[in-house]
Chains A and B, each alone.
Chain A
Amino acid sequence: MQQDLKQAMMGDELARERLILHYKPYMINVAGHITKKFISWSDEEASIALLAFNRAIDTFDEARGRRFLSYAYLLINRDLIDFYRKEKRENHLSLDRSLNEEEMSLSSKQENEKSMKQYEQQVQSAELVEEILELDQALKQYKITFEELEDYSPKHNDSRLALFEMAATIAKEAECVELLQRKKKLPIKMISKKVGYKRKTLERHRKYVITLILLALHPEWEKLLQFIKRER
């Protein structure tokens, strides 16, 4: 994504498209967090967040020591606050507009700083967010959503550890991985034949096993891999 960001900043529209597509769940989540309500893409707040994100691509300066996600958050936050203030002003017209604007710019600066601090405290690490977004993108290719993984997750500790081991073993089987990536389906027959796992177990936890294999295939997702450590 770092590469796409640089290309988009240099004017690559496709890279910008990819970037926006990748961070869409993040934008909508931030918009909901700021407005304190669930936001869908049909809401005006979502459009404001998208526009703010697009502007963040253009104006991001790595040299200023900020992470792109934090900067995007800052812009979305500021734009949404401005949007609400504007709405409020239109409803209750003030007599002294110049004074108000001055006050607002001062207070918005303070609020921005405060919200940035809050954001950094809340989010464990920007890397984790990046990894979650990347996993989400990867799962989409397999037509898997995060919310349906609960049904495929193991209920007992023993089966959970067995599945971790199973996924690590399958990830090492090149033929199985190749078939999985090509067909975007878990090759249950091949796995049970080659590795000898029970078909019933594989079928029952199919989507969860795919998620684990994807995690195993991406060792760069260090933060996420912490969650599926076998000794847990």
Chain B
Amino acid sequence: MNVVNGTVVKVTETYIVLLTEKGTFKNVPHPTSPTEIPLIGQSYTHTVKKKSYSSFFKYGSIAAALFFVILASFMFPFGGSAKEAFIVTIDVNPSIELVANENLDVIHAEGLNEDGRKLLSSLQLEDKLYSVIEQIVTETVNLGLFAIEDALIATSVVSLHEDLIEVTPRVKEVIETSLEKNDAMAEIELAIDNHELYEEAKQTNLSINYYREYKMLEASGVVHDQEGIKGKSLADLKKMENQKRKEQKATDKKLKQENNGTPQNHNNSDRANQQNNDNSSKENGQQQSKKDRGNQAEEAKNKGNKPQTEKENRGKQPQNGRENRENPSKSQKEPKGNAPKKSNGNGPKTPNPSNKRGNK
């Protein structure tokens, strides 16, 4: 409480003007209950009731906190159900990572390289994961990124909490449908990866698809460090892998010629290939089915048959499927649905190269 003492010098409608004992002037308000108007020359004491700011701030801060809690509950209606459940990484050249919750709502989308960031910034992303994938594929086609030979769309699905049974085939289906809609053709690679591999990829600043390919190349001795893949696209890495496989095949052929092409030797080289593939799978758990298909094509060639198409490969799916099931991480690789099937990388080239591009 603050007290002002003084002599009344004037009374206005709003104030009582006091000449204080210190010789300064002070305007004080009229008392709330106007018992009387003081006389000029009368001694007057005014008591200033201090506003209790502390209680104001106390209640004010509580009110503000409550307001923010209510606001937050409106902004995040699932109350933290912005919980990550899936991570889908799409690599064409633009690398994009999509994080979805258990309801398959995209809660985060990030471009992992410059092209990816550009692509995302040009899109008004929808909510659902499948719609977003479709949007990305369509935009990639529009940018003409599938107009090249051996176009590849590598996709990785990492599950954090949920079962992937429904998600994986649906993701592949969405990509296929989107490509079909846009009259584009590309090789689709879909892999289910575990969270550890994703974390490793994150640490090396590579997208998970790149990282997996890099690990394979490193295991087969093509590259020794990340410098070896610097500036190369995923398709380039695939080419490097194929090149290595060709070299391996040439070595096998040489060995076979030296041994006069006996079936025994062929079996040995086949076994060597198989062993190599097994080692590679153990390293990365990837590309198993693709390599198996390559070996089958080689077998067919040895028998004097034409190379197998995708349909034929699919026909032998149970055999591959069994092998895939044995591996903890599996990979599916096949050309776009309605296009004429392209031979796998390590098989002999098709007699008619026009078949590669399909009916488009």
A residues touching B (Cβ–Cβ < 8 Å)? 25-26, 29-30, 32-33, 36-38, 40, 119, 122-126, 128-129, 132-133, 135-136, 145-147, 149-150, 153-154, 157, 160, 164, 208, 224, 227-229, 232
- Of the residues B10, B15, B19, B34, contact of A36 by C-beta under 8 Å: B34
**Chain A residues touching B, majority SS:** helix
Q: Are A122 and B39 in contact (CB under 8 A)?
A: yes
In the complex, whether B36 has a CB less than 8 A from a CB of chain A is yes
Q: Which of B's residues lie within 8 Å of A, judged by CB?
A: 7, 9-13, 15, 17, 19-27, 30, 34-43
Q: Give me 29 A-to-B residue pairs in the complex whose CB atoms sit less than 8 angstroms apart, sorted by A's number.
A: A29-B11, A32-B37, A33-B38, A33-B39, A36-B37, A37-B34, A122-B38, A123-B39, A124-B43, A128-B7, A128-B41, A129-B39, A132-B9, A132-B40, A146-B10, A146-B25, A147-B15, A147-B17, A149-B25, A150-B17, A150-B24, A150-B25, A150-B27, A153-B26, A160-B23, A164-B23, A208-B24, A224-B19, A227-B7
Which of chain A's residues have a CB closer than 8 A to the CB of B35? 36
Complex contacts, A153 vs chain B, CB 8 Å: 24-26
Residues of A within 8 A of B22 (CB): 157, 160, 227, 232
Chain A residues near B27 (CB-CB < 8 A): 147, 150
Asked if B7 and A124 sit within 8 Å, CB to CB, the answer is yes
Chain B residues in 8 Å Cβ range of A128: 7, 41
Q: With A36-B36, A40-B13, A136-B10 as given contacts, are A129 and B23 in contact (CB-CB < 8 Å)?
A: no
Partner of A122, one of B17, B25, B42: B42
Q: Which residues of chain B have C-beta atoms less than 8 A from A146's C-beta?
A: 9-10, 17, 25
Tell whether, in the assembled complex, residue B34 and residue A147 are in contact, meaning their CB atoms are under 8 Å apart: no
**A residues less than 8 Å from B37 (CB atoms):** 29, 32-33, 36-38
Q: Please determine whether A129 and B25 come into contact, CB atoms closer than 8 angstroms.
A: no
- The listed residue (B15, B23, B34, B42) touching A228 by CB distance below 8 A is B23
Complex: how many Å from CA A136 to CA B19?
Answer: 12
Q: How far is the CA of A133 from the CA of B41 in the complex (A)?
A: 10
Cα–Cα, bound, A38→B15 (Å): 11
Chain A residue at smallest Cβ distance from B15:
A147
Known: A154-B24, A228-B23, A232-B23. A147 touches B42 (CB 8 A): no
Which of A136, A149, A164 has the most C-beta atoms of chain B within 10 angstroms of its own C-beta?
A149
Contact A125–B41 (Cβ < 8 Å): yes
- Most chain B beta carbons < 10 A, residue from A125, A126, A150: A150
- Give the most central of A147, A154, A160: most B CB within 10 Å: A147
